[in-house]
Amino acid sequence: MNITELQSIVGPRHVVTDTARTQTFVADWTGRFSGSTPAVVRPGTVEEVAAVVEWCRANAVPLVPQGGNTGLVGGSVPLHGEIVLSLTRLDAVRDLDDISGQVTAGAGTTIAALQTAARAVGWDYGVDWGARDSATVGGSIATNAGGSRVIRYGDTRAQVLGIEAVLGDGSIISHLDGLVKDNTGYHMPSLLCGSEGTLGVVTAARLRLVPLLTERVVALLAFDDVDGALAACSALRRSVSTLESAELFFDDGLELVCATFGLGRPLTAKAAAYLLVECADRVDPTESLGAMVESVGPNDAAVASEAGRRADLWRYREAHTEAINLVGRPHKLDVTLPAEAMRAFIEAVRTRVQGVVPSATVWVFGHAADGNLHVNVTGVEPGDERVDEAVLTLVAELRGSISAEHGIGTAKKRWLPLNRSAAELAAMRAIKHALDPDAILNPNVLL
Ligand code: FAD
Ligand code: MLT
Ligand code: ZN
């Protein structure tokens, strides 16, 4: 491989070959998936991205696009010696239009930086999740990230008005005018959202902003059983128009978070299931939420309006991911169930997993309002896929989706036919072939 040619495209400083420095780029966030790379290439412009893609094509060298490397399905790392194309230098936030509420963000912009820029002018970005400080706009589009506000603002796909990307043949597509209504053929943002770096390298996006709501209240509600928590979630969704998040977790996860990070328990008594809800409005939503909370009858509740205290309550939910990772490299199974099947799934999933690996520990938490559960399994070898098989087939039996918000990556590739027909898979392959004729873009994920 002629590294000098790559250096001449992006500059010698931006081609990293030293294994001590490439280490953080070749393993995923969980530590379950890792590989190696001859070079991490860090372009600074869309033209440089196009030139690198063209070079890869001409030299038959596959590449893996990478943003913040917070992906949870092993899709962002070079499993078979690919080049890593790191987009973090493309982090400009520009053309922030505070009249229409739109902004153009480079692919490498972190979600936190995007939020900060939007909030400075009275707007906000609608999608939010725990990895906001590292996860990037490009990665979130490639995975169609969801997070904790989907009930109010939709997923990433719902925010993207226009996109700039480099396709597998090296061509640049750019449609960043941000017209809200624009029916001029195929909607490229929709196609690239969730494409996991297999169709194009996202370099920038025109994003929709949402009004900044500063009056907020968070409540942690405790219930005797999962039925109580799910019924409360449904009742709150119907009656509280300011509801932004409704998150579910259980006592084993709460106990782990408290023990791992030395936190006090948030409520005096233990409960079986917890719902964390947040409401946001222009006027203080505390009273209206309070009245509704009483009507859904939790055993106990902690309510917080002040920002620091709200963050404290969120920590019990968001710190699940890190706490579980510290137990051991987890198998992460992010799934959606139809609302009526959630309880049956939660009841059955532990038995199914422990039926194949008795020593496994199963952790369940998630975004209750979206039917999105995160099943994390620890105590299983990274390569032992029996637990993945057990969980994903149970999901399919209950007519759910094997990927709610993290994507397919390499972790779930085998099971895609559980959700997609042969005709759908053939159509996807045809699209892949049209946009990436030499199959150089992230060849080990999705299809
Ligand atoms: P990476 O991990 O670098 O890449 C992810 C995928 O996108 C890979 O396939 C990669 O090849 C591709 N890609 C990256 N950049 C580009 C680009 N510019 N062009 C084309 N393809 C690209 N996800 C959720 O949806 N909801 C959550 O609530 C959530 N919570 C999380 C909490 C924690 C603590 C962590 C660690 C992760 C969480 N995630 C969550 C997963 C992760 O943050 C998202 O999948 C995120 O969108 C990945 O962004 P990234 O920039 O880190 O992408
Ligand atoms: C979350 O909601 O916390 C995430 O999607 C991360 C995870 O699954 O651990
Ligand atoms: Zn999630």
Q: Is 374 in the pocket of ligand 2 (CB under 6 A)?
A: yes
Q: What is the pLDDT of residue 227?
A: 96
- 321 in ligand 2 pocket by Cβ < 6 Å? yes
> What is the 364 CA–ligand 2 centroid distance (Å)?
10
Domains (range + CATH), the chain = 3-86 (3.30.43.10), 93-211 (3.30.465.10), 215-320 (3.30.70.2190), 328-423 (3.30.70.2740)
CA trace torsion 262, 372, 235, 124 (10° rounding): 80
Cβ 107 under 6 angstroms from ligand 1: yes
Is the Cβ atom of 334 under 6 angstroms away from ligand 2?
A: yes
pLDDT (0 to 100) of residue 294: 85
16: left (phi over 0), alpha (psi -120 to 50) or beta: beta
Token pair for residue 223? 């219930």
DSSP assignment, residue 173?
E
SS3 278: strand
Nearest CA to ligand 2 atom 5: 147
CB of 406 shorter than 6 A to ligand 1: yes
Distance between Cα 323 and ligand 3 center (Å): 14
Tell which residue, 25, 76, 79, 83, has the closest CA to residue 54: 83
The identity of residue 300, as a single letter, is D
pLDDT digit string (tens) for the chain, length 447 residues: 899 999 999 999 999 999 999 999 999 999 999 999 999 999 999 999 999 999 999 999 999 999 999 999 999 999 999 999 999 999 999 999 999 999 999 999 999 999 999 999 999 999 999 999 999 999 999 999 999 999 999 999 999 999 999 999 999 999 999 999 999 999 999 999 999 999 999 999 999 999 999 999 999 999 999 999 999 999 999 999 999 999 999 999 999 999 999 999 999 999 999 999 999 999 999 998 888 888 888 999 999 999 999 999 999 999 999 999 999 999 999 999 999 999 999 999 999 999 999 999 999 999 999 999 999 999 999 999 999 999 999 999 999 999 999 999 999 999 999 999 999 999 999 999 999 999 999 999 999
- Closest Cα partner for 70 from 119, 11, 133? 133
Residue 333 CA to ligand 2 center (angstroms) comes to: 10
| Residue 108 near ligand 1, beta carbon < 6 Å | no
130 CB near ligand 2 (under 6 Å) = yes
Angle at 334 between CA 331 and CA 336, to 5 degrees: 150
Q: What is the pLDDT of residue 77?
A: 98
> What's the pLDDT score for residue 290?
87
Residue 137 CA: which ligand 1 atom is closest?
51
Q: Is 102 in the pocket of ligand 1 (CB under 6 A)?
A: no
Residue 61 contacts residue 1 (beta carbons within 8 Å): yes
Question: Cβ(112)–Cβ(53) under 8 Å?
Answer: no
Packing angle of the helix pair 386-397, 342-356 (nearest 10 deg) = 150
Contact (CB, 8 A) for 57 and 90? no
Nearest-ligand number for the alpha carbon of 72: 1
Give residues with Cβ within 8 angstroms of 370, minimum separation 6: 146, 150, 151, 336, 404
Do 343 and 411 meet the contact criterion of CB atoms below 8 Å apart? no
Residue nearest to atom 6 of ligand 2 (CA): 321
Q: Is 246 helix (H, G, I), strand (E, B) or coil?
A: strand
